Amino acid sequence: MEHVRVDDVDSWMSPASAKRPLSNALGAEDVTVNHFELAPGEAFAFGHHRHADQEEVFHVLEGTATFEVGDPRAGDPERVTVDPGEAVRFAAGEWQRGVNEGDERVVALAIGAPASMGETTILRDCADCDDVTAQAVQPTDDGDALATACEDCGAETGRFD
């Protein structure tokens, strides 16, 4: 048995938000559990994405999270709001993007199984390509943050401190 206090697990998101990998702290091998605290405007991930081999469940504890479901290149994705005490499930391979569009913090648990996501595909708007394109996540030149870059043209599309 392993036991951990959520606030004692290091976060790797911006100071306004937090992502705490509880499964790492607990030594979980078959499931991934992340505790999120999102400030208004913050998202759960780098953009619309899908995990080839992992299903995910998001359980909202506080605030309201808005999820976009579906490939954004195919038109307007379906939007689903998830309130406190509610949960939403995404099948392996299903496109998703979750964001805090409200004025209050969102606190949620993200649970994924199996622990290995398999291949993850990320889509974001690329101003240089004037299109939604596949993205790579990489360290910034100074190594202090992560950035997304368009796989078509190489332009940086976002920085995540």
Distances (CA, A) of 76 to 32, 68, 70: 29, 9, 8
Q: How much is the pLDDT for 11?
A: 82
* Distance (Å, whole) CA 126 – CA 4: 40
Give the single-character DSSP code of 47. Answer: S
**What is the phi-psi region of residue 55: left when phi exceeds 0, alpha when psi lies from -120 to 50, beta otherwise?**
beta
Q: How much is the pLDDT for 118?
A: 84
Mean pLDDT of 45-51: 91
Task: Identify the residue with better confidence: 117 or 23.
Answer: 23
Q: How much is the pLDDT for 146?
A: 83
Its pTM stands at 0.89
Task: Identify the residue with better confidence: 123 or 159.
Answer: 123
Number of other CB atoms surrounding residue 40 within 10 Å:
15
pLDDT at 14 over 70: no
Q: How much is the pLDDT for 35?
A: 96
Give the single-character DSSP code of 25. Answer: H
Q: What is the largest CA-CA distance in the chain?
A: 51
Strand pairing category for 120-126 and 87-90: unpaired
Distances (CA, A) of 158 to 16, 37, 74, 79, 155: 17, 20, 22, 23, 9
Of 128, 124, 127, 129, the residue nearest 137 (C-alpha): 124
Contact call for residues 91 and 50 (beta carbons, < 8 A): no
What confidence tens digit (pLDDT) does each residue in 72-120 have? 999 888 999 999 999 999 999 999 999 999 999 999 999 999 998 888 9
